[in-house]
Every structure is written in C-alpha cells, then in structure tokens.
Amino acid sequence: MSGVPARPVDELRSAATRLAESGIDTPRRDAEWLLAHVLGVDVGRLVMVDGIDEPGLGAFRDAVEQRAQRIPLQHIVGTAAFGPVDLAVGPGVFIPRPETEYLLEWAVGHLGSSPGPHVVTDLCSGSGALAIAIATMVPETRVLAVEADGAALQWLRRNAADARCAPGSRVEVADADVTDATLMAGLVGSASVSLVVANPPYVPLDAEVGPEVAHDPARAVFGGADGMSVIVPMVPVIAEMLEPGGLVGIEHDDTTAAPVTECLRASGSFEDVTPRRDLAGRPRFVTARRTRG
C-alpha cells in the first residue's frame, strides 16, 4: 500500500466477492460485520469511515480469509447477538442461533403476562443465551442455567457474570446432566419452577450440516441416531421439576416435531402439548403444560 488509506467501499466489494466464492450466503453482510469489528465501530457507522489504514487493512483481510475458510463469523468477532443480549462465544461453545429466538419470545410472553417472582430453568444452556436473555427481559426472575460440558460452562459463567439483568432478576449456573433425575431434583430443591426452556442437542447423527457447524461442539449439536437421545430422558426430569400448571418449551430438529410431541403426551405428565412453527412454517419447538393432577 502506498500510504494512501484504502477505501472501505473497494475493500468491502472485494471481500464480499471472496466470501461469495467460498460459498457464504450473506457475503456483503459478513464483510461489513468483519470490517466494523476490525475498526471498532458499529456496523451502521461504516458509511462514516473515509479510509482504512494499513494495520486495519491487514487485520480486515486476515479476518476475511478466516471467514472464507468457513470459520463462523461469531468466532472471529468473539460475540453472538441473541435477542437483546450479546454473548461472548468461541471454540468450545455452541453459537446461539436466531431460530431459538422463537422459543425466547414464547417464554418471555408467558412470564410477562403473569406476576413475578418467577423461577425458570434453562436446560442445556450453552453460552447462556436463553437464560441471560430471559433474565435481561423479565424482572423478578431467577433463572437456573444448567449445562454439563466443561468448556461450555466456562463461557456460560463468563456471560452470566457480565449479564445486565432486569431488576430483581439473576442467572445461576449449575454444572449438571439434565438427564440425571436425582442430580436435577437436588439442584432445584423446593423451588417452584414455573417455566422450563430447553434447546438440547437434537440433530440426528446422519443429518447433513454446513461447514460452520463443525465449529460447534458435537455434544451440543447431535442428539443420537434419531435426534432424541437427550430429549427422551429429559422429559421426566422436567415433569418432576415443574410446578402444576407450569410450562415447558423444547426446541427440536425440524424432522422430530412428532416424536417430541408424542414423548410429552406419552409421559402422562403434560397437557396442552402444542407443536409450534417458525415464520417460515418449519416445525421449531413444542410447548406443554404440567398437569395439575
């Protein structure tokens, strides 16, 4: 470079071309996020940037090359947006997906329509996405975030410590296997849990996944041959912890709405078992109410 700052418009164009060639669906958007990250500005303020100096240009081109190798955008910038929160993410933890915001919206809608205080559990919490977003959005809510993987727990604890919870709300982290009924009963104790959210590993082992998914821990993604290996043993644990009339929402693979619905119904512990779809019409999560009997 001749000492003349590079023009963002030119750099973004060639970065987007490189990313498109490597098969990325949103090349321009990814290029903008990477440039904003490198320059330390909000993406909306990129239009105000006149030029990129030499160190900035080197860092941007390195970041674009990493993304072209299909390293997830969130690992390169170090954060993932989920609802109203930004979570620290990186190797060892599942990157929260936008589709899980449907489950968040459902949970917040129910909690917001009943008076607190609430006790909520987020099973298979990963980075803490659901737990922290709920505690941020709903006052007077104690959220117990349960995770079994050591690396994920480190990210979860960091995110929980940095959380800006709503008044009277907090996130507590527990290291536990959500399929272990005895352990979970001890964790919850005598608390009256009114809502459970769970985004467990649910992708069937033989499903085709994109290159970025290889950067998520396999334990976070795959739920055995049928995608049900965590969901099936988790359902009786949820039945045990929920108060009568309490609600559960479980995200699942788009091929497993029927078995998840059947698993909840067959347990005999739930009513109003309802499969739910996202805006694109894909089966996304199933909700149910703990029977009062």
Ligand X SMILES: C[S@@+](CC[C@H](N)C(=O)[O-])C[C@H]1O[C@@H](n2cnc3c(N)ncnc32)[C@H](O)[C@@H]1O
Using CB under 6 A as the criterion, which residues of the chain lie in contact with ligand X when the complex forms? Answer: 94, 96, 100, 124-127, 129-130, 146-149, 152, 177-179, 199-201, 219-220, 230
Question: Is the Cβ of residue 8 or residue 201 nearer to ligand X in the bound state?
Answer: 201
**Distance of closest approach, residue 216 Cβ to ligand X, in angstroms:** 8
Q: How far is CA 37 from CA 177, 242, 250, in A?
A: 36, 42, 34
**Distance of closest approach, residue 177 Cβ to ligand X, in angstroms:** 4
Question: Is the Cβ of residue 84 or residue 244 nearer to ligand X in the bound state?
Answer: 84
Question: Is the Cβ of residue 99 or residue 271 nearer to ligand X in the bound state?
Answer: 99
Strands 141-147 and 170-175: parallel
Question: Is the Cβ of residue 76 or residue 124 nearer to ligand X in the bound state?
Answer: 124
**Distance of closest approach, residue 116 Cβ to ligand X, in angstroms:** 22
State how far the Cα of 222 lies from the Cα of 218, in Å rounded to an integer.
Answer: 6
CA dihedral 283, 224, 93, 248 (to 10 degrees): 50
Q: Using omega within 30 degrees of 0 as the cis cutoff, is the peptide bond preceding 217 cis?
A: no
**Distance of closest approach, residue 212 Cβ to ligand X, in angstroms:** 14
**Distance of closest approach, residue 36 Cβ to ligand X, in angstroms:** 23
Closest CB to ligand X: residue number: 126
**Distance of closest approach, residue 197 Cβ to ligand X, in angstroms:** 8
**Distance of closest approach, residue 10 Cβ to ligand X, in angstroms:** 36
**Distance of closest approach, residue 97 Cβ to ligand X, in angstroms:** 7
Helices vs. strands in the chain: H and E counts, helices first: 11, 9
Question: Is the Cβ of residue 119 or residue 197 nearer to ligand X in the bound state?
Answer: 197
Q: How far is CA 99 from CA 25, 152, 260, 279, 286, in A?
A: 17, 20, 18, 10, 14
Q: How far is CA 146 from CA 4, 89, 101, 160, in A?
A: 52, 17, 19, 12
Question: Is the Cβ of residue 16 or residue 184 nearer to ligand X in the bound state?
Answer: 184
Number of residues that make up the chain: 293
* Token pair of 78 as six digits: 């170090």
* Token pair of 141 as six digits: 């809510």
Q: Is 124 exposed, middle or buried (0-12, 13-18, 19+ CB in 10 A)?
A: buried
Question: Is the Cβ of residue 27 or residue 90 nearer to ligand X in the bound state?
Answer: 90
Taking the mean position of all CA atoms in its chain, how far away is CA 245? 26
Question: Is the Cβ of residue 201 or residue 246 nearer to ligand X in the bound state?
Answer: 201
